[in-house]
Structure 1
Amino acid sequence: MYNVYQILLIAYLTGFLWLRRNPLSLVFTAISPFSILFILFVVSNGQYVQFAVAGSLVMALVGYGLALGQDISLYKIEYKMQDIFVASPVSSVTYMLGLALSELLYGLPALMVLIVLALYFSTSLAFLPLLLINVVLIWGTMSSIGFFLSSHMIHMRNATQLISFVNVVIAVVPPVFYSIDRLPESLQLLSYVVPTTHASLLLQYSMGFPVPQGWSISLGLAVQGLYFIFFLIIAKKKALWREK
Structure 2
Amino acid sequence: MNPHAAHSTSLLTLVSSLWQHRHLIKVMVIREVVGRYKGSIFGLAWSLLNPLMMLTIYTFVFSVVFKARWGIKTTDNTSDFALILFVGLIIHSLFAEVLNRAPSLILSNANYVKKIVFPLEMLSVVNIGASLFHALISMFVLLVALILLNGMPTLTIIYTPITLLPLLPITLGISWFLASLGVYLRDIGQMIGIVTTVLLFLAPVFYPIEALPESYQMFLHLNPLTFPIEQTRTVIIYSEPPNWIGQAVYTIFSIVTCRFGFWWFQKTRKGFSDVI
Q: TM-score range by the shorter chain?
A: 0.7 to 0.9
| 1:166 CA displacement | 2.5
> Partner residue of 1:166?
195
Q: Counterpart of 2:7?
A: none
Paired residue for 1:59?
89
Question: Taking structure 1 as reference, are residues 235 and 54 closer, same or farther at Cα in structure 2, changes over 3 Å only?
Answer: farther
Which runs of no fewer than 5 residues in structure 2 stay unpaired?
1-18, 71-78
Structure 1 residues 198, 236: closer, same or farther in 2, change over 3 A? same
Aligned partner of 1:11 in structure 2 is 29
1:229 counterpart letter in structure 2: I
Structure 1 position 236, deviation (Å): 0.5
Q: Distance in 2 between matches of 1:111 and 1:204?
A: 12
Partner of 1:40: 62
Task: Describe the SS at the equivalent of 1:241.
Answer: helix
Distance 1:6 1:136, change over 3 A: same
Compute the displacement of 1:229 (Å): 0.8
Letter in 1 for 2:87: L
Question: What is the identity, as a one-letter code, of the residue corresponding to 2:251?
Answer: G
Q: Kindly indicate whether residue 101 of structure 2 is the aligned counterpart of residue 101 of structure 1.
A: no
CA contact (8 A) 1:62 1:139 kept: no
1:10–1:64 CA distance, 2 compared to 1 (3 A) = same
Q: Which amino acid aligns with 1:177?
A: F
Q: How does 1:1-244 map to 2 (within 5 A)?
A: 1-22=19-40, 23=43, 26=47, 30=51, 34=55, 39-45=61-67, 47-48=69-70, 49-83=79-113, 87-90=116-119, 92=121, 94-117=122-145, 124-154=153-183, 158-206=187-235, 207-208=237-238, 217-239=243-265, 240-242=268-270, 243=272
User: Which residue type is aligned with residue 80 of structure 2?
Assistant: Q
Larger radius of gyration: 2
Letter in 2 for 1:68: V
Query: What is the SS of the residue equivalent to 2:187?
Result: helix
Gaps of 5+ in 1: 211-215
Q: Equivalent pairs: percent with the same residue?
A: 16
For residues 233 and 201 of structure 1, the distance between their equivalents in structure 2, rounded to whole angstroms, comes to 25
Aligned residue-pair number:
237
* 1:108-130 C-alpha deviation (Å, 9 max, x unpaired): 43232124445775984322232
Q: 1:43, 1:158 → 2: CA distance?
A: 40
Shift of 1:101: 0.8
C-alpha separation in 1, matches of 2:93 and 2:65: 24
